[in-house]
């Protein structure tokens, strides 16, 4: 299954938040179902950027702009969102980039 990917590198948390807002709006207008956010920066920067992105996603979910989001480590969990992905989009769970332990990413259902 093809879906767009937003790669975040070494940038400030506010720049990352702006990029996520823009990508969510753009991909929603394009009619995409999913967006994946990848963190391609040094391990020391990843928690700060990830926190900023999760904050944006929680706000967008609360506002009804996205359906849900799942960090990669929760894709195989017992969460209802993970079960939804597994049942409706099983091809997503075959993506090694999404499930790889070396890749910190977040899957977003638009």
80 pLDDT tier (thresholds 50, 70, 90): very high
In this predicted structure, which of 3-12, 27-36, 88-97, 99-108 has the lowest mean pLDDT?
99-108
**Residue 27 vs residues 19, 22, 44, 47, 108: alpha-carbon distances, Å:** 12, 9, 29, 25, 11
**Maximum Cα–Cα distance across the chain:** 36
Q: Is the dihedral of CA 82, 4, 28, 48 positive or negative?
A: positive
Q: Regarding predicted confidence, which is higher, 94 or 55? A: 55
Look at the chain and report how many structural domains it folds into.
1
Percent of the chain with pLDDT over 70: 92
The 3-state DSSP class for residue 37 equals strand
How far, in Å, CA of 108 to CA of 35, rounded? Answer: 5
CB of 35 within 8 A of CB of 110? Answer: yes
Question: What pLDDT score was predicted for residue 103?
Answer: 64
Domain of residue 74, residue span: 5-109
Average pLDDT, the chain: 89
């Amino acid at each position: 299954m093809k879906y767009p990917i937003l790669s975040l590198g070494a940038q400030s948390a506010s720049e990352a938040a702006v990029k996520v807002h823009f990508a969510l709006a753009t991909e929603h207008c394009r009619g995409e179902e999913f967006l994946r956010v990848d963190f391609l920066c040094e391990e020391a920067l990843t928690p700060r950027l990830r926190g900023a992105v999760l904050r944006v996603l929680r706000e967008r979910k609360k506002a009804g702009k996205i359906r849900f989001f799942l960090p990669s480590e929760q894709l195989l969990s017992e969460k209802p969102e993970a079960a939804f992905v597994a049942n409706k989009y099983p091809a997503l769970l075959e993506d090694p980039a999404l499930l790889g332990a070396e890749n910190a990413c977040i899957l977003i259902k638009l």
